[in-house]
Chain A
Amino acid sequence: MKPIHLALAVTALASPALAQEAREMDAHEHGVSVAEIAVEHGKVAINITAPGMDIVGFEYEAASTEDKDAVEAAIRALLTPEAIVALPEAAGCRLTEVLAHLHGGDHDDTADAHMDDDHDDHDDAAHEDHDDHADAAQHTEFHVSYAFACEDEDALTQIGFPFFDQFANAQEIDAQYVTETGAGLAEITRAAPTLTLE
């Protein structure tokens, strides 16, 4: 992955608890994050939702400066895609978009960094929920989404998850993936932190 310049902005968004969670069927489970991965024509979109417990070790609203620093550091880490997901070197992937935020509790912290190009390509639907979503639950969750454009789509055979090295409490990612050839479910674990795309 080529080094990229990221403009980091942490903004606080106050929003009422309105929308229901997309994966409301999935119970919030500590240690288990959820990922959606789509691959098409060398483009890769990855969304990860991780329990606050896994990322910062607590799920209450950050009050102390220590906790706030932890949240900020986590967001910063999530905004560094090479620390979270590893695409094959040979595929020559370039990050085109990254977006990370915390939600739940009273505040949503959102950090958003768009690559200057490809912006029109971006699906607005994915953004919609940022304005209105929050969670009435006690549990906080981190959301991060990445978009990559790769030169050699045939080399996109697997995705590694250095995510587990980054966050010691994370144990598992339940992933749904879709490629040109099909869709599937995969359990990515700390012991086997790789998703193989058929």
Chain B
Amino acid sequence: MILRLAFGSLMARALTVGMTILAIALSVALFLGVEKVRTGARASFADTISGTDLIVGARSGSVQLLLYSVFRIGNATNNVTWESYQDIARRPEVDWIVPISLGDSHRQFRVMGTTQGFFEHYKFRGGQALEIAEGHGLTDLYDAVIGAEVAATLGYHVGDPIVVAHGLASFTEHDEQPFRVAGIIARTGTPVDRTVIVSLEAIEAIHVDWHSGAQRPGAGTPIEQIRQMDLTPKAVTAALVGVNSKLRIFGLQRWINEYPQEPLLAILPGVALQELWQIVGIAETALTGVSAMVVVTALLGMMAMIFSSLNERRREMAIWRAMGARPLTILGLLVLEAALMAALGAGLGLALLYGGLVLAQPMVDAAFGLWLPIDPPTARELIVLASVIAAAAVASLFPALRAYRLSLADGMMVKV
């Protein structure tokens, strides 16, 4: 009966109670939403590379190497010489090795030179391989295979010409050696979608007339002549390595890191990713903190609402008292009401979250390549909801204690 009465009391104040519940619901939805995006982003990053045991680059920070080689964020400060690359490739632990050459661009997208091996060994989302949706892979020197987003954004089709620009955001174009779209890769949700892939030799070819970053003046070498040339690169940006036994990863990593001829760095993508999370964790914590503060604000609002309702409810409290309710029962009643409001708010917040996810999922995927999974609430989320309800009960203790004292002082005949 008490629960029914508490519920009735809330219903009787539908507007203010409704606003309070809505505030709690929105704050809970925001908090859980931030969590979802956070874990979604982590999962999405973690899904970007799988099956690669080591990434090798010039010595820098492990997070930096991970970011430029896999996520195309930032730039390499140095290259890996072809000799070192060859030395690593010859190691007995190496099962496969794929070179990556970055530096040029096409419009807002990066151009990456690599080998056929990239299509065989680059795996994402738990071992999924790249798939050519249209056209074919790299066969000719001037073939380019483009990511799904490149194709969608620029409206490219198989057979369209592509001119690569030198460097990032520069006006110099390698226009004397145009490429042709040979294939379009099916959407992956990874940075591959935003990449133009050409062969390693092609990167070498377009820079035949370039020396130390500047174009040699005069007419360019004719394409026919270039096709006859030895286009083995002098250096690559990074290399993806697969080992033949996981047990040998650390040994190979140590060998590369101690490679005397050139300062190199080999990283385990999973480990570097976790290091990245440790850095990003600070921002994440801040974000989580802010959204937690929003929940706290909503609960404070609820507390203020209960406080301001106390005066008009003194009469009600006097009735409870006259009927034999102890002051403690009155305290419990107010706490129960607060817990009910918070529970309704939490439930509504969860509903808002799922509603929002259904709406936002395709948009977030399109805009950020971030796939937010719609799963049943996790234990962690349920704990968050339970904590919100518990915090509401605790917050309501303050007005409830005031009601307790009022009901003691008022006696039973409150002046109306």
Contacts and interface: CB of A to CB of B under 8 A. Distances in A.
In the complex, is A directly touching B at CB under 8 Å? yes
Interface stretch (A2-10, A39-47, A59-67, A165-173): A39-47
B253 to A, nearest CB: 8
Most buried by A among B46, B53, B253, B254: B254
Chain A interface size, under 10 / 10 to 19 / 20 to 34 / 35 or more: 20 to 34
A36 B271 CA distance: 11
Contacts of B246: 38-40, 178-180
A123 interface: yes
Contacts of A147: 247
B245 interface: yes
A182 B251 CA distance: 17
Interface in B25-71: 46, 50, 53
A16 interface: no
A123 B251 contact: yes
B271 A176 contact: yes
Given A19-B258, A22-B257, A22-B258, A185 B271 contact: yes
B275 interface: yes
Is chain B's binding surface mostly helix, strand, loop or mixed? helix
A16 to B, nearest CB: 16
Nearest to A128: B255
B269 A183 contact: yes
Contact of A176 (B248, B250, B258): B250
Contacts of A179: 246
Contacts of A20: 258
Contacts, number: 58
B247 A22 contact: no
Interface in A92-142: 123, 125-126, 129
Given A19-B258, A22-B258, A125-B93, A184 B270 contact: yes
Interface in A37-79: 38-40, 43, 45, 47
Given A19-B258, A22-B254, A185 B248 contact: no
A104 B255 CA distance: 20
Interface in B241-277: 245-255, 257-258, 268-271, 274-275
Contacts of B250: 36, 38, 45, 47, 176, 178
A45 B274 contact: no
Contacts of A126: 251
A24 to B, nearest CB: 8
Contact of B268 (A19, A47, A123, A183): A183
B257 A178 contact: no
Contacts of A125: 93, 248, 251-252, 254-255
Contacts of B251: 123, 125-126
B53 A178 contact: yes
Chain B interface size, under 10 / 10 to 19 / 20 to 34 / 35 or more: 20 to 34
Contacts of B93: 125
B254 A38 contact: no
Contacts of A19: 258
A109 B252 CA distance: 25
B258 A183 contact: no
Interface string B275-295: 100000000000000000000
Interface in A13-32: 19-20, 22
B23 to A, nearest CB: 38
Contacts of A180: 246
A36 B246 CA distance: 12
B270 A183 contact: yes
A39 B245 CA distance: 9
A184 B255 contact: no
Contacts of B257: 22
Contact of A178 (B50, B249, B255, B275): B249
Contacts of B53: 178, 183
B247 A45 contact: yes
Contacts of A183: 53, 249, 268-271
B247 A185 contact: no
Contacts of B50: 182
B93 to A, nearest CB: 7
Contacts of B252: 125
A178 B270 contact: yes
Contacts of B247: 38, 40, 43, 45, 123, 147
A162 B372 CA distance: 40
B145 to A, nearest CB: 27
B55 to A, nearest CB: 11
A41 to B, nearest CB: 8
Given A38-B246, A40-B245, A184 B274 contact: yes
Contacts of A22: 253-254, 257-258
Contact of A123 (B248, B253, B258, B275): B248
B218 to A, nearest CB: 47
Interface of A: 19-20, 22, 36, 38-40, 43, 45, 47, 123, 125-126, 129, 147, 176, 178-180, 182-185
- Closest CB pairs A-B (n = 5): A183-B270, A40-B246, A22-B254, A183-B268, A185-B274
5 contacts: A22-B258, A38-B247, A123-B247, A126-B251, A185-B275
Given A43-B247, A176-B268, 16 more contacts: A19-B258, A20-B258, A38-B246, A38-B248, A40-B245, A40-B247, A45-B247, A47-B250, A178-B246, A178-B270, A180-B246, A182-B50, A182-B270, A183-B269, A183-B271, A184-B270
